[in-house]
Chains A and B, each alone.
Chain A
């Protein structure tokens, strides 16, 4: 599903002493089945932006278009349900939303709300549990007995079970250990490929942006200040630093090598790209 933001503004608690700008004139387009990363410092408007994708927030002005659904200030809540179903949201620390007695029922909760029959919901739940790598023997257990990493997988399965076409992930790997992070990112990439999902990822991990994203949106002070491929976003290291952002590790390392007289056609973003660009600048093994 393609997504378009057209001059979207959002104001928190308008006309009160707590009034705060959430989004300011944000416009962009995300192609269907692409992987988009949203980056920016804390409080820059990333979470506000993604909550517009499934109508949890409605623009104060402007239009959000998801496939053929148009979301504006005037959209009524009745019409939001199909949007909720088609755009799955994985919030930060999603394990905090688990509540049901068994893992299976918690995962089936979304499909049941969206009008699937009990049987359909259970079969969707089993499929989703399988997709996130939860072993079958956990399905009848209480979600509160599981380890942190397993609970997070249950919560993600609970979103996938409603068969969304767009998957929004708000810092999904926060708090996991390195292996947990790597496995989870690989899992999202696989899900995207297998189920033809459009993925939107909010992250502070620039290495994940370099490894997975087709394009990135940079937020600062409620504004969208840059949009482009990761290569375009990181092309100007000075600008990146000025935005309090970091370079991917490999790009940062390559920067150092440039000062040592190495030359790169374009700034390498991953260890692999860097090694490839070092061919011809380093002696071959066994020589």
Chain B
């Protein structure tokens, strides 16, 4: 498998901070992989993904994206490979209308107008927002705005999409629509690499791999199953426990049988059904 992102011994301290926000971080991400970054607020997740896009000026360590080592000279090239969606739907909406916003990146890249029109329409159709092309952002819901932000990225066809808590300010319905766009995109022929920061366990569970941040350090990485089965890790880093784990704990309190290892919700359902049948 080809590596699309390599981070080697990355450290960073904000100019006015008294301690480093990123502390000797190294990891790699394969092309086409879906990776979630989890960790409590202030653990350095946003700073980390900003470093990948050259949005902070780190002095120590290296970042390589799609074979290009990030440097002041290569930063615009690297940014072509990465599309970023941020947390606040309002603060990243540049255009005065939906279509204008999607076109923003294409305009920056100097894409000719006929080509631009085609790509704007295709991208808006991909996120199911074409019928709102002429709307102003003030008349859209949060979920719709985030889908427009995604369309702006889809139109640029980057190989990597980074989501920094893109769903955390949305209601459950808005969150669901954004996630289903992502799943759809994974199956399309763009099939971008996805790197998403999230607090939502069901969202993290969809990833192939999790990176766990704590106080500026990458303290663990592994499959969702491996991470979710480590109750101590989850508790010490302030993460939620999966529902299956919470239920198992409650079953134990009632003196009932519990599975010997971590099971996903679906697996626990199966397991309970099997135990029920043995009664």
Contact = CB atoms under 8 A, between A and B. Distances in A.
B40 A279 contact: no
A282 interface: yes
29 contacts: A42-B142, A42-B171, A148-B41, A177-B40, A178-B239, A179-B40, A204-B171, A250-B243, A250-B247, A253-B247, A253-B265, A256-B269, A260-B269, A261-B273, A262-B276, A271-B249, A271-B250, A274-B250, A278-B254, A278-B272, A282-B251, A282-B276, A283-B275, A283-B278, A283-B279, A284-B255, A285-B252, A285-B256, A285-B257
A282 B141 contact: no
Given A177-B40, A249-B243, A275 B199 contact: no
B279 A260 contact: no
Nearest to B273: A260
Top 4 nearest A-B pairs by Cβ distance? A179-B238, A275-B250, A178-B240, A260-B273
A246 B173 CA distance: 9
A43 B172 CA distance: 13
Contacts of A177: 40-41, 199, 238
Given A260-B276, A282-B276, A43 B141 contact: yes
Given A282-B279, A283-B257, A284-B255, 12 more contacts: A43-B141, A149-B41, A179-B40, A180-B40, A204-B171, A253-B243, A257-B273, A260-B273, A260-B276, A272-B253, A282-B275, A285-B255
Interface of A: 41-43, 147-149, 174-180, 204, 244, 246, 249-250, 253, 256-257, 260-262, 271-272, 274-276, 278-279, 281-285, 287
B168 interface: yes
Contacts of A282: 251, 256-257, 272, 275-276, 279
A285 B243 contact: no
A145 to B, nearest CB: 10
A174 B252 contact: no
Contacts of B269: 253, 256-257, 260
Interface residues of B, number: 37
Contacts of A284: 255-257
A274 B256 CA distance: 12
B246 interface: yes
A177 B42 CA distance: 10
B276 A261 contact: yes
Given A282-B256, A283-B278, A285-B257, A272 B174 contact: no
Interface in B139-180: 141-142, 168-169, 171-174
Contacts of B272: 257, 260, 262, 278, 282
Interface of B: 40-42, 87, 141-142, 168-169, 171-174, 199, 238-240, 243, 246-247, 249-258, 265, 269, 272-273, 275-276, 278-279
B141 A175 contact: no
A174 B168 CA distance: 8
Contact of B168 (A42, A175, A179, A257): A175
A191 B68 CA distance: 54
A257 to B, nearest CB: 7
B92 to A, nearest CB: 16
A278 B172 CA distance: 29
B238 to A, nearest CB: 4
Given A256-B269, A275-B250, A275-B256, A281 B173 contact: no
B213 to A, nearest CB: 11
Contact of A42 (B173, B243, B246): B173
B243 to A, nearest CB: 5
Given A149-B41, A178-B240, A275 B251 contact: yes
Contacts of B273: 257, 260-261
Contact of A175 (B169, B256, B275): B169
